[in-house]
Amino acid sequence: MKYTDISEVFAKGVALAGREVTVAGWVRTARDGKNMAFAALNDGTTLRHLQIVLDKSVIPADALSACLRSGAAIEARGVVVEAKTDAGGYEIDASEISLIGECPADYPLQKKYHTLEFLRTVPHLRVRTNTFNAMLRVRSKLSFALHRYFQERGYTYVHTPIITGSDCEGAGEIFRVTTNSYADAKACANEAEYIARDFFCRKAGLTVSGQLEGEVAAMAMGRIYTFGPTFRAERSNTPRHAAEFWQIEPEVAFAKLPDIIAIAEEMIKYVIRAVLDECGEELAFFEKAFEPGLRAKLESVAGSDFAVVDYTDAIRMLKESGEQFAFPVEWGLDLQTEHERCLTEKLIGKPVFVINYPKKIKSFYMKQNDDGKTVAATDLLVPGVGEIIGCSEREADYDKLVAAMTERGMNLDDYKGYMELRKYGSVPHSGFGLGLERMLMYVTGVGNIRDLQLYSRTPGDLMA
């Protein structure tokens, strides 16, 4: 490539000073003065814009008028010099600029600031704002750090299927996968015929979690993780729920609940440390624009122990807190976001694993505790977000698993292979799922999941 990255110009400014470079990018803002003009250029390699200084006695007027427009893609050649501004850094004294892609005046991002709500209406352009520029880089670094954490510890990365015939969470929130048309449906006398006519000749859907197949892999490979998109047709229109989100899901053979809790805590701290070390510029931006004290929060979390609280104690603490809640607090009921946040933000003041939930409100695959009432499951709750991890030891006993599935009215035929894992060399094993976007909410302070994905998918919203 003949172009120097803008990140390089800033990083190697001392060495590059006085040398000629050619850069290319999109104009963020342009200023036209009497003798001089300026373009702030961004090429996506850094949050920082490179100032292109244009001497009007050097640069032809027609090149200037085409290039000095927000959104235009341009190329600039010139000498790297120390910036004369207070912010310091480097800029380019341009000897030549040329237009690569014009940008007419109807470009929607003319203003310096746009609301996140407005930006959601232009997903193909919002990536050109500082917020999305920073978010995508943190998302990339965070994802890579998650891979690194597991790779460094001997986990095998497995790719679990996206199309499945099972419902891991049993919540009936599956997106159906079908090749049947409306006309096919009308031609069928009943559902059995409709399904028989379909591509797989059985009900199929997009996976809600890679866990069930992850367990299969762990029963041979010992320690595995999956990292991919998962899908939920949840109608909950909240800032925390997306119909398509990414999950990282480790599954560990021979691990019990306390073992997997230790892994989850270590992993969270590891990736927070990575973001602190590798995304300084982005964190400074998020701290300023979204969450004051963000860096100090992350430093503190990376360096302190998480709490562990029994569900039964959590219910008691919430009842005794004197807080008014919209939803009831009662043993046997699920914790709502308001309860989760009260626990982690007010009552405990740091990330907390709530353990041993009532079995009736949790999934069929969780290990049943000896008390007959609870399961060896935990959610990790963090201030500002609520649940970011769902985790459990898995039921490794064939008969207990069948009983739990039968109680829930599940079709055992759909889970034959999964059940057989409990027949052939069954071992205790545990795993969890971390929602990548929930983790991003936590490390960036951005409050709505719709702004942490390149494209967000929520009920009634499928922007292209």
Interaction partner, residue 247 (Mg ion, ligand 4AD, none; CB < 5-8 Å by kind): ligand 4AD
Interaction partner, residue 51 (ligand 4AD, Mg ion, none; CB < 5-8 Å by kind): none
Q: Which residues ranging from 283 to 342 are in contact with ligand 4AD (CB under 6 A)? A: none
Q: Select the residue whose beta carbon is closest to Mg ion and give its number.
A: 390
Q: Select the residue whose beta carbon is closest to ligand 4AD and give its number.
A: 390
Task: Identify which of residues 129 and 226 has a Cβ nearer to Mg ion in the complex.
Answer: 226
Task: Identify which of residues 49 and 241 has a Cβ nearer to ligand 4AD in the complex.
Answer: 241
Task: Identify which of residues 234 and 278 has a Cβ nearer to ligand 4AD in the complex.
Answer: 234
CB 231, min distance to Mg ion, A: 15
Question: Smallest Cα–Cα separation from 437: which of 231, 246, 269, 209?
Answer: 246
C-alpha atoms less than 13 angstroms from C-alpha of 333 in its C-beta half-sphere: 13
Task: Identify which of residues 279 and 434 has a Cβ nearer to Mg ion in the complex.
Answer: 434
- How far, CA to CA in Å, does 214 sit from each of 248, 365, 398, 433? 11, 13, 18, 11
Q: How many residues bind Mg ion (CB under 5 A)?
A: 1
| DSSP annotation of 441 | H
CB 387, min distance to Mg ion, A: 6
DSSP assignment string, 3-35: PPPHHHHHHTHHHHTTSEEEEEEEEEEEEE-SS
The residues pairing with 430 across neighbouring beta strands, listed in sequence order, are 252, 393
Task: Identify which of residues 129 and 207 has a Cβ nearer to ligand 4AD in the complex.
Answer: 207
Contact in structure between 358 and 373 (CB atoms under 8 Å): yes
Among 390, 431, 435, 445, binds Mg ion (CB under 5 A): 390
Task: Identify which of residues 224 and 389 has a Cβ nearer to Mg ion in the complex.
Answer: 389
Question: Smallest Cα–Cα separation from 41: which of 55, 24, 61, 27?
Answer: 27
CB 50, min distance to ligand 4AD, A: 36
Contact in structure between 325 and 336 (CB atoms under 8 Å): yes
Give buried/exposed letters for 279-306 (b at 16+ CB in 10 A, else e).
beebbebbbebbbeebbebbeebbeeeb
Based on the shown chain and the rule CB under 5 A, indicate whether residue 431 belongs to the binding site for Mg ion: no
Phi/psi of residue 69, each to 5°? -135, 135
Among 133, 435, 444, 458, binds ligand 4AD (CB under 6 A): 435
Reported as type and span, the H/E element at residue 292 is none
Based on the shown chain and the rule CB under 6 A, indicate whether residue 441 belongs to the binding site for ligand 4AD: no
Reported as type and span, the H/E element at residue 211 is helix 211-221
Q: How many residues bind ligand 4AD (CB under 6 A)?
A: 24
Phi/psi of residue 253, each to 5°? -70, 150
Q: Tell me the per-residue interface mask from 143 to 182 with ligand 4AD, x by CB under 6 A, - otherwise.
A: -------------------------xx-------------
CB 390, min distance to ligand 4AD, A: 2
Sequence-distant (6+) residues with CB within 8 A of 229 are 162, 244, 245, 246, 247
Q: Which residues ranging from 341 to 380 are in contact with ligand 4AD (CB under 6 A)? A: none
- Which window, 242-250, 263-271, 416-424, 450-458, contacts ligand 4AD (CB under 6 A)? 242-250
The whole-angstrom separation of Cα 235 and Cα 242 is 9
Burial of 154 (0-12, 13-18, 19+ CB in 10 A): exposed
Q: Tell me the per-residue interface mask from 377 to 396 with ligand 4AD, x by CB under 6 A, - otherwise.
A: ----------xxxxxx----
Task: Identify which of residues 93 and 234 has a Cβ nearer to ligand 4AD in the complex.
Answer: 234
Reported as type and span, the H/E element at residue 440 is helix 436-444
CB 215, min distance to Mg ion, A: 17
Which residues of this protein are in contact with ligand 4AD, per CB under 6 A? 168-169, 209, 211, 232, 234, 241-242, 245, 247, 249, 387-392, 431-433, 435, 437-438, 449
Which residues of this protein are in contact with Mg ion, per CB under 5 A? 390
